[in-house]
Structure 1
């Protein structure tokens, strides 16, 4: 297993991973409007993320098997963390987050957690910074992790 920077060459496999995980774990918690907005947002995001210098994107793989990927925007905002369904609950998400935290340009990491990922982020030390909210039908909880430096 190795963690390395992801590139445009990884875009198709990362898009497929995002679609699989989203279909199984995120979309069921959203309204019809939320599903539509989420899919539109993710399609636009995945099309541009690799060309945007504000993002540090890492992937974890074993041979040709993409285990997960994560993206840190502006050195402090965790915009994406997806782990393949077959690799969940095996430490992949924690390792991806740790890899990004090593490059953080702030003493904290913030994010908007999907409802299904709340327990995962809390287990890593993230704290809620506000109540559950909805944007265009997409449910999330704002959270923050204080980094120990």
Structure 2
């Protein structure tokens, strides 16, 4: 299977994928503060410290190259889902999400989706669950996906 848990040797590459995808799709609509906040969160050392917490981090690999990453926090919140820009729209995000949800410990999975990713999350079965918010310059749409139910 091309999906596996993240390893320490993956961190620099995973960080680079997140930053490339973010810079292309999300950063143009954010303030300097928002870009700085995300850059800090997506740094390799930030991923490294979160590896020791209650975070499931998975990567999608193909031909030995990492093409995407997902981070599921506390079994209930999608904290990161980024795909290498050249590899997007190939089902990688759906596969990563599906695998991560096998580890869900809640019937409701949440995400603070960047505004540019709302449509993708809707395709994954998430619905908007509140007003657009902002934290440290990051603008997001709260969304949730109900597991084990039709809603």
Residue deviations 1:15-53 (CA, integer Å, cap 9, x gap): 11111111111111101222222222333632412222x
Aligned to 1:41: 41
| Distance in 2 of aligned mates of 1:140 and 1:45 | 20
| Distance in 2 of aligned mates of 1:21 and 1:47 | 20
Aligned to 2:102: 102
Aligned to 1:125: 125
Aligned to 2:52: 51
How many pairs does the alignment contain? Answer: 148
Cα displacement (A) at 1:64: 1.9
The CA RMSD over aligned residues, in Å, is 1.5
Gaps of 5+ in 1: none
| Distance in 2 of aligned mates of 1:74 and 1:30 | 27
Q: For the Cα contact (< 8 Å) 2:26–2:114, is it kept in 1?
A: yes
Q: For the Cα contact (< 8 Å) 2:108–2:147, is it kept in 1?
A: yes
Q: TM-score, normalised by structure 1?
A: 0.92
SS at match of 2:103: coil
Cα displacement (A) at 1:58: 0.8
Q: TM-score, normalised by structure 2?
A: 0.91
Aligned to 1:87: 87
| Distance in 1 of aligned mates of 2:33 and 2:5 | 34
| Distance in 2 of aligned mates of 1:146 and 1:72 | 15
Gaps of 5+ in 2: none
Cα displacement (A) at 1:65: 1.6
